[in-house]
Amino acid sequence: MKRVISSFISFLFLTVSCKAGPDPLVVGMELEYPPFEFVADNGKNDGVSVKMAEALATHLGRTLEIQNIKFDALITALKSGSIDLIISSMTATEERRKSIDFSDPYVTTGLAMLVPKDSPIKGIEELMSGKRKVVVKLGTTGESFARSKLKNATILTMTQDPACALEVAQKKADVWIYDQLSIFHHHKQHKETTKALLKPIREEQWAIGIRKPKFGEDDSLRIQVNDFLKKFRESGQFEELSNTYLQEEKKLVKTMGIPFIFDVNPDQKVDVIRRNQDSYTGVDPLFIIIISILVLLTIAAFWCLTREEDNSIPGHDDILRNILGFVILWIILIGVCFFIFSSINRSYHWNWEGIWNRRWQIFGGWIRTLWISFSALILCIGVGVGLVIGSRCSFRPLRFFCRAYTEIVRGSPLLVVLLFGYYVIAEAFNINGRILVGILLLALFAGAYLGEILRGGIDSVGKTQFDSARAVGFSRLQTYRYVIIPQAVRRILPAVAGLFIMLVKDSSLLSVIGAEEFTKRSDIARAATFTGIEGYLPLAVGYLLITIPLAYCSKRLERKFSYET
């Protein structure tokens, strides 16, 4: 029953709550982009966008609520109705305009490039010629520019700005394409190793994102926002904001002869795209077959997991009743899902086309996650066993190393281990394969946990068994092989299964070092198509397809090793 409740709750969390009220004005932004939107030293939200949002709320006569949301989730949040507007330095691209509407532009900027100091790239011509390794941030206009214009380039998507900068600084990538101001700031961080090419390779306009009106709604909010922007500009308040927040940048671009970002042509408008709901394109029978087999296998594993094993419940072996119970549970679950989705259907504009078009890419990511997880899993057993042997070894330096390693690695966040491991340690040893390094780091991380679980299992077997084994004349090796390990394995199986499931899910963090696994592929598809739940649902199903069979295997092994009730 617990499993049912927890799966139900996780389902609830998956679906975005959809509330929409006239008051207050809810503005979404990612507060990680100074000086436009950031959290100031005193803990208050600050920046150009924040000041604009405040003025806009006053203009509309509503109170303001700012929600800090990841950039690539902003459009999902807007579409689902949990926010009213996006003011987050967002470029009004054609792709985005298919999903949401935009106000008139308030900033003109452009894509710039960060290149290594001695790079041959001087401008757009050098960029286009030759096979370049391009790094971009997920869901940005830099990414869509690279994907549509740079056909010959190898594109690497990252989720963190500093990681993109490091890729260039360490010459792992030839160029980072991002907006002017960010490139300028990151260049200041890596003055010795990089060069900023600020001349725009493509011009872009930032605008305020607004939800497309549903059937029966009018366009009034967009008209009010445009009205506000006009007044705000005419009263010279953009000038004021730039003096407060962007003095240094303003001076710099003036010397380079590039127009400043607030110098927007007042006649420039952003078109609004209106079109019908997307329909499915071709059906791929092979894909459907693969997915069906996987789902059936998982349901079979799920069935075995939920089966009664407790002899104390009467009639536990009554197959008919078990099947009935299973079917009733599924009917209830389907009913609940239907209820949740029918409520979301009213406000949510479903768009499965983009995800469907990228099904093979996402499936490829899933396969990659599968083998990343399993290689890491096997390596991590080696690491764990090594740590246990090492921490019992008589050679003191090794023993102390193993103990310190366990505590330090177990105590640090995986994100830090991955970033530090890849950009510092792997760089020092000149190892370059992202996936290889990712697998190694995952295994080293999980190995520290596994070592402790193994140690606990061995300790729990107890001294009497050691005594007994020695008394019958077993050597040390035989004692472990035939007496201690078999008993320890039985006890640690549930904990190990938990660790392995965690390992599978944690493999999604490999995206921070640019490994394109399941989550990353799905993120890329989601960001490119501006879908939300449509991207997350296959993700959840995909991980369950791996973890449920894993849980089933662990149950089977537990039964195989069981020797006491």
Partner 1 sequence: MRLKISEVSKHYGVTCALDGADLDLNEDVSVLSMIGPSGGGKSTLLKIIGGLEVPDKGAVSLNDQKVDYQSEESLLEHRRRNGYLFQSFNLFPHKKAIENVTLPLELVHGLSTSVAIEKANHCLDRFGLIEHANKFPFELSGGQQQRVAIARAIAPGPNLLFLDEPTSALDPEMTGEVLDLIAELKNGGQDIILTTHEMGFAREVADEIIFLEEGKIMENGEPNLLLSEDGKNSRLDKFLSRVMRY
**Which residues in this chain contact partner 1 in the complex, by CB under 8 A?**
464-465, 467-475, 478, 482-483, 486-487, 490, 561, 563-565
Residue 475 C-beta: closest distance to partner 1, Å: 6
Q: Which is nearer to partner 1, 433 or 486 (CB)?
A: 486
Q: Which is nearer to partner 1, 216 or 473 (CB)?
A: 473
Residue 307 C-beta: closest distance to partner 1, Å: 23
- Going by C-alpha positions, the residue among 89, 81, 34 that lies closest to residue 207 is 89
Report yes or no: 510 and 418 within 8 Å, Cβ to Cβ: yes
Q: Which is nearer to partner 1, 414 or 488 (CB)?
A: 488
Q: How far is CA 346 from CA 181, 254, 350, 377, 550, in A?
A: 40, 50, 10, 43, 37
Q: Which is nearer to partner 1, 45 or 487 (CB)?
A: 487
Which position has the token pair 């963090």? 509
Residue 486 C-beta: closest distance to partner 1, Å: 5
For the record, the structure tokens of 114 come out as: 């960060």
The CA distance from 82 to 18, in Å, is 6
If you ran DSSP here, which 8-state letter would residue 213 be given? Answer: P
Q: Which is nearer to partner 1, 318 or 467 (CB)?
A: 467
Q: What stretches of 186-330 adopt beta strand conformation (E)?
A: 194-206, 209-210
Burial (CB < 10 A; 0-12, 13-18, 19+), residue 408, is exposed
Query: Hey, which residues does 64 pair with through a beta bridge?
Result: 25
Residue 459 C-beta: closest distance to partner 1, Å: 16
Q: Which is nearer to partner 1, 367 or 472 (CB)?
A: 472
Q: What are phi and psi of 554, to 5 degrees?
A: -65, -40
Residue 458 C-beta: closest distance to partner 1, Å: 14
Q: Please, which residues have CB within 8 angstroms of residue 524's CB and are 6 or more apart in sequence?
A: 138, 143, 157, 358, 361, 516
Torsion angle of alpha carbons 255, 106, 530, 142, nearest 10°?
-10
The CA distance from 521 to 435, in Å, is 14
The CA distance from 421 to 415, in Å, is 10
- Going by C-alpha positions, the residue among 33, 348, 372 that lies closest to residue 181 is 33
- Going by C-alpha positions, the residue among 516, 490, 503 that lies closest to residue 547 is 503
Q: Which is nearer to partner 1, 487 or 547 (CB)?
A: 487
Q: Cα Rg for the chain, rounded, in angstroms? A: 28
Q: Which is nearer to partner 1, 424 or 472 (CB)?
A: 472
Please count the other Cβ atoms lying within 10 Å of the Cβ belonging to residue 427. 15
The type of residue at 17 is S
Q: Which is nearer to partner 1, 267 or 310 (CB)?
A: 310
Residue 471 C-beta: closest distance to partner 1, Å: 4
Query: Hey, which residues does 165 pair with through a beta bridge?
Result: none
Residue 494 C-beta: closest distance to partner 1, Å: 17
Residue 457 C-beta: closest distance to partner 1, Å: 13
Q: Which is nearer to partner 1, 413 or 462 (CB)?
A: 462
Residue 343 C-beta: closest distance to partner 1, Å: 53
